[in-house]
Amino acid sequence: MSDISHAQRVAIVFLASRTQAAQDARDALIARYGDAPLETAEVIVALGGDGFMLETLHATQARDIPVYGMNRGTVGFLMNEFETEDLPERLAAAQETVLNPLALTATTSSGRVHQALAINEVSLLREGPQAARLRITVDGKLRMEELVCDGALIATPAGSTAYNYSAHGPILPIGADVLALTAVAAFRPRRWRGALLPKAATVRFDVLEAHKRPVMAEGDGQSVRDVVSVEIRSETRVRHRLLFDPGHGLEERLIREQFF
């Protein structure tokens, strides 16, 4: 259960993507329940798809208040069903899931250092026609001298059904303290199946022959080109609080996804 009490008096702020469906939904909900300023709101209702949910979580992470998504987009894996009725009661009954993002530190060929947070995954992808060559170190210990591939990624449990799953990585239970390391179109070792790593691990990718085989790093839509090294770790000091209707939380969705 969420810690939202006195459901009828909870201060809600409604945020919506730019699509007409999301904007219309926001107008209807504000007309019914009002709209609190973000600075004083007790809960955020995000209207859109999964991409907008990620935007909302990043933009409001300093507030440390729960976010309840309603799907006005396409996939809606991180969203609840849209309905204008009984919203305060749904918020009061909602179950909370806490997510920690990944922190990435990427160094480019020019020596610039970029830092960012990613909720789903951090991926490294080749920029040119030739396969990438990556060296993988985990907690300071060399684990793979050379991975030749189109790319590689580190996924959180929440992000394991996204790009990670499309790359044939494992779906992780939401409460698992592990990360998935998955190769994208591995050429050598050709049959490497990836790895499961402790959530507390720090993973470093070094790009070999970066001038000849350029690589970009990306996390939740934030891209850094021409990277020579990327370090990734869980950022436990940042937490994202998501609310889901009972019986439709992330744990149930992750299990259900595996039986399609």
What SS3 state is found at 186? coil
Please state, for a pLDDT cut of 70, what percent of the chain lies above it.
97
Contact call for residues 44 and 68 (beta carbons, < 8 A): yes
pTM (2 d.p.): 0.87
Q: What is the CATH number of domain 102-234?
A: 2.60.200.30
Say yes or no to pLDDT of 138 above 90: yes
Residue pair 17/48 in contact (Cβ under 8 Å)? The answer is: yes
User: Does pLDDT of 46 surpass 90?
Assistant: yes
Comma-separated ranges of CATH 2.60.200.30 domains in the chain = 102-234
Predicted local confidence at residue 5, as pLDDT: 47
Q: Which residue has tokens 């907690």?
A: 139
Q: How far apart are CA 2 and CA 66, in angstroms?
A: 9
**pLDDT level of residue 75 (50, 70, 90 thresholds):** confident
> CA 256 to CA 260: how far, in whole Å?
7
Would you list the DSSP string of 21-85?
A: HHHHHHHHHHHHH----TTT-SEEEEEE-HHHHHHHHHHTGGG---EEEEE-SS--TT-BPP-ST
Under a CB-based contact definition with an 8 Å cutoff, are residues 170 and 144 in contact? no
DSSP bridge pairs for 106:
114, 230
Q: State the average pLDDT over residues 176-196.
A: 94
Query: Which residue in 116, 110, 62 sits closest to 232, CA to CA?
Result: 116
Binding residues: 50-51, 120-121, 150, 158, 161-166, 185, 222
Q: What is the pLDDT at residue 56?
A: 97
- Residue 235: which of 180, 179, 151, 165 has the closest Cα? 179
- Give per-residue pLDDT as tens, 219-248: 988 999 999 999 999 999 999 999 999 987
Is 50 an active-site residue?
Answer: yes
Q: Residues of CATH 3.40.50.10330 domain(s) within the chain?
A: 7-99+239-257
- Positive or negative, the Cα torsion across 112, 113, 115, 120? positive
- pLDDT single digits (tens) 83-118: 999 999 999 999 999 999 999 999 999 999 999 999
CATH number of 7-99+239-257: 3.40.50.10330
> Are β-strands 121-126 and 215-219 bridged in parallel, bridged antiparallel, or unpaired?
antiparallel
What average pLDDT does the segment 137-147 reach? 98
Alpha-carbon Rg for the chain in angstroms: 20
Which of the four pLDDT bands, split at 50, 70 and 90, describes residue 8? low
Q: How far is CA 108 from CA 4, 6, 116, 139, 244, in A?
A: 44, 50, 14, 21, 39
Catalytic residue, candidates 3, 24, 35, 50: 50
Residues in the annotated binding site for NAD(+): 50-51, 120-121, 150, 158, 161-166, 185, 222
- Cross-strand pairs, 108: 227
Average pLDDT over residues 149-173: 94
Mean of pLDDT values over 141-166: 95
Q: Does residue 253 carry a pLDDT above 90?
A: no
